[in-house]
Amino acid sequence: MDMAKIREFLAAAAGAVWTALTLGGCTAGAEGQLCETGVIFEVTGTGVYLAPEGSDGVDGATFIGFEGKAWRDEEGKSVLPDALSPGQVVEYRCDSVLETWPSTLSGCVEVTLTGETADVSELIAAWNAAQAELAGGSDSYGMPSLQLLQANGKTAGATSPLRGSSSWTREGASVMQDSDHPLRWEDAHLAAVSLSDGEMLTLSFSGAEGDPDAVRVTRWDAGERGCKSVPDGEAVALTDGFSFRAEPDSVYEVIAQWDGEDTGGRLSWGFRTVE
């Protein structure tokens, strides 16, 4: 599915959600603040994605993070992230909506559950399709892709890991992708590289922007997968050619930064190594 079709699908899905849901309107907040209502369609480890009332699907998708915000129910009681789920309708206020994709908010300090819910199954399916397109690198935003090259003297191979949390700007248009930490990814999403102890891996970046300006690689033991809080990892030393000595039974995160004037951003990938 290409991005144009995904946009059409998401727009139709969001329209169906808000046609079926009747809201009482947003309670007035501080003077000068925007007051919006939206329905959550995905909850991540760092925040939620929602479709604002009257939005046109993927172009209006908005991310609200947990950090620095008070989440409350309709009675004003505090709500923990574990209590949030797709389909819940929330009311939020902010100073402005930043022109990224998905949209992000400036000056948002409180989010309130209204007690109403909506069916977001179609929106979830379409959003997952859009995220799969972005994670796999098959998108129209010019985001660089990564391959893991290995050559142990007998065989050579290449693995393409999926992209994790990333943000990218190209000619004034911005796109953002949020995901859990690779330690929490399922096997189906965490590409596996088979190697022997001490084998070298090389990071090969492709795209019009060339090699990144900065790269950071971090390693964790595979036994730490599924942890509730992410432990500190081990910084991995890279050669000038983005090569490093990999260890089996490990989880790696690669974070690369491009500092172009008109095009650039911060992209991440995750993968695991097995013997």
The predicted structure's pLDDT at residue 154: 46
Contacts of 113 (CB under 8 A, 6+ apart): 71, 72, 73, 74, 79, 84, 88, 89, 90
Distance, CA of 211 to CA of 260 (rounded, Å): 11
The reported pTM is 0.58
Alpha-carbon 65 to chain mean position: 12
The predicted structure's pLDDT at residue 20: 41
Amino acid identity, residue 80? L
Tokens for 209? 């922007």
- pLDDT per position in the chain (275 positions), as tens? 344 444 444 444 444 444 444 444 565 555 668 889 999 988 877 788 899 888 766 667 888 888 889 999 999 999 998 899 999 999 998 888 876 667 778 888 899 999 999 988 888 887 777 766 655 544 546 788 888 988 655 445 678 888 888 888 887 778 887 788 999 888 878 889 888 766 889 999 888 788 999 999 999 999 999 887 889 999 999 998 899 999 999 999 999 999 988 889 999 999 999 98
Residue 270 near residue 251 (C-beta atoms within 8 A): yes
Tokens for 50? 């929602």
Q: Is residue 204 within a helix (H) or strand (E), and if so which, with residue range? A: strand 200-206
The predicted structure's pLDDT at residue 267: 93
The predicted structure's pLDDT at residue 186: 83
Tokens for 237? 């030393």
The predicted structure's pLDDT at residue 234: 96
The predicted structure's pLDDT at residue 238: 94
The predicted structure's pLDDT at residue 88: 95
* Domains of the chain listed by start with CATH number: 3-124 (2.40.50.140), 141-274 (2.60.40)
The predicted structure's pLDDT at residue 140: 46
Alpha-carbon 60 to chain mean position: 16
Contacts of 4 (CB under 8 A, 6+ apart): none
Distance, CA of 33 to CA of 173 (rounded, Å): 25
Distance, CA of 10 to CA of 14 (rounded, Å): 6
Among residues 40, 53, 37, 42, which one has the least CA distance to residue 180?
A: 42
Among residues 202, 203, 192, which one has the least CA distance to residue 250?
A: 192
